[in-house]
């Protein structure tokens, strides 16, 4: 399955073909409009599982001519094919001249192949047409759209397969949209019981020290939380007077600043980049979290 650009759409709209008094194709007492609408519950389930925003147009979009309802979204319009002599398999229809199939289309064709095969007359699994209203309207409105003919309603094998696999067909359509299998049982690796699980740990600073060399007589210190810029100092340390000074590091700040406790200024931030001559002795220990 191909990765798709589905996240660039605000969601997926499913238009069910025909309806509102138009039965679509009929065969052996089955109606196209009723058959495709049987997918709604499962499509909703897998749409939710995939975390996408999914909507259904259960009216007759062809008659309503309301394609702007799906502006900014991707559209699957679901139909069943019909023929005087039953063909076999499914296919999709896209508007001629929109630049061919996208990854979503190709994924749908792959899923049609898995479930019904693709119709004999166009082994590629799709037609480009310019004489159908909804493909033309969507192309004009720049809506990502394909009409999906799932199978031939008068093919009893595919019809029975469909009725027995509404869940799988629905899952496959959602998977085709997002470009990965949705809602499959994931195999969770079983921990080996003989291996005791490692307790979580964290590293703490335990007596890391800062040494200021005795060659410097004025070393700026700042408020603990800065700003650590010249002019904002709260005072000066004088390492030279003491032949150098050593402090326990109480905390780290970004950009070569550490926090120490001083006798004269309390807790301060101090700039200790390598270039200053300061040396830091790190002592970190691992403890239970």
Which class for 49: exposed (0-12), middle (13-18), buried (19 or more C-beta within 10 A)?
A: middle
Q: Determine if 24 is a binding residue for Zn ion (CB under 5 A).
A: yes
Task: Find residue 129's DSSP bridge partners.
Answer: 95
Closest residue to Zn ion using C-beta atoms? 79
Stretch of 73-81, 162-170, 193-201, 231-239 lying at the interface with Zn ion (CB under 5 A): 73-81
240 class by beta-carbon count within 10 Å (0-12 exposed, 13-18 middle, 19+ buried): middle
Q: Is 159 in the site for Zn ion (CB under 5 A)?
A: no
Q: Does 146 bind Zn ion (CB under 5 A)?
A: no
Residue 52 or residue 148: which is nearer to Zn ion going by CB? 148
Nearest C-alpha neighbor of 95 from the set 132, 45, 53: 132
Are 95 and 145 in contact, with CB atoms under 8 Å apart? yes
Q: Which residue, 6 or 151, is less far from Zn ion as judged by CB?
A: 151
Closer to Zn ion by Cβ: residue 60 or 144: 60
Count of residues interacting with Zn ion (CB under 5 A): 3
CB of 97 to Zn ion, least distance (A): 22
Beta carbon nearer to Zn ion, 81 or 224: 81
What is the distance of C-alpha 236 from the center of its chain?
53
- Residues numbered 79 to 138 that lie near Zn ion (CB under 5 A) are 79
CA distances to 191, 195, 289 from 198, rounded to whole Å, are: 12, 9, 11
Stretch that binds Zn ion, among 66-74, 76-84, 135-143, 208-216 (CB under 5 A): 76-84
Kindly state the smallest distance separating residue 32's Cβ from Zn ion, in Å.
5
Contacts with Zn ion, 2-21, as mask; x by CB under 5 A: ---------------x----
Q: Give dist(CA 137, CA 141) in Å, integer.
A: 6
Measured from the CB atom, the residue of 153 and 178 that comes closer to Zn ion is 153
Site string for Zn ion, 29-68 (x = CB under 5 A): ----------------------------------------
DSSP string covering 186-244, please? P-PPPPPTTSPPPPPEEEEE-S-EEEE-TT-S-EEEEETT---STT---EEE-GGGGTS
Residues within the interface to Zn ion (CB under 5 A): 17, 24, 79
């Amino acid at each position: 399955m191909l990765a798709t650009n589905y996240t660039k759409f605000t969601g997926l709209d499913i238009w069910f073909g025909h309806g509102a008094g138009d039965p679509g194709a009929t065969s052996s007492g089955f109606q196209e409009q009723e058959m495709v609408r049987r997918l709604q519950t499962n499509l909703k389930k897998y749409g939710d599982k995939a975390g996408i925003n999914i909507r259904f147009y259960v009216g007759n979009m062809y008659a309503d001519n309301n394609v702007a309802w799906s502006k900014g979204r991707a559209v699957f319009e679901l139909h069943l094919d019909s023929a005087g002599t039953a063909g076999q398999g499914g296919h999709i229809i896209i508007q001629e001249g929109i630049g061919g199939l996208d990854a979503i289309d190709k994924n749908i064709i792959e899923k049609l192949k898995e479930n019904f095969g693709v119709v004999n007359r166009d082994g590629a699994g799709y037609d480009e047409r310019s004489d159908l209203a909804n493909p033309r309207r969507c192309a004009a409105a720049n809506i990502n759209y394909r009409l999906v003919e799932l199978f031939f309603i008068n093919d009893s094998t595919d019809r029975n397969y469909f009725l027995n696999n509404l869940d799988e067909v629905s899952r496959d359509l959602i998977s085709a949209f997002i470009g990965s299998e949705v809602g499959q049982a994931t195999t969770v690796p079983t921990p080996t019981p003989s291996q005791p699980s490692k307790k979580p740990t964290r590293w703490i600073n335990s007596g890391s020290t800062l040494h200021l060399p005795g060659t410097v007589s004025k070393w700026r210190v700042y408020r603990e939380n800065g700003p650590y810029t010249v002019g904002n100092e709260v005072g000066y340390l004088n390492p030279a007077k003491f032949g150098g000074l050593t402090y326990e590091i109480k905390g780290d700040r970004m950009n070569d600043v550490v926090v120490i406790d001083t006798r004269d200024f309390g807790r301060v931030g101090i700039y200790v980049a390598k270039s200053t001559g300061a040396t830091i002795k790190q002592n970190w220990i691992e403890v239970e979290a």
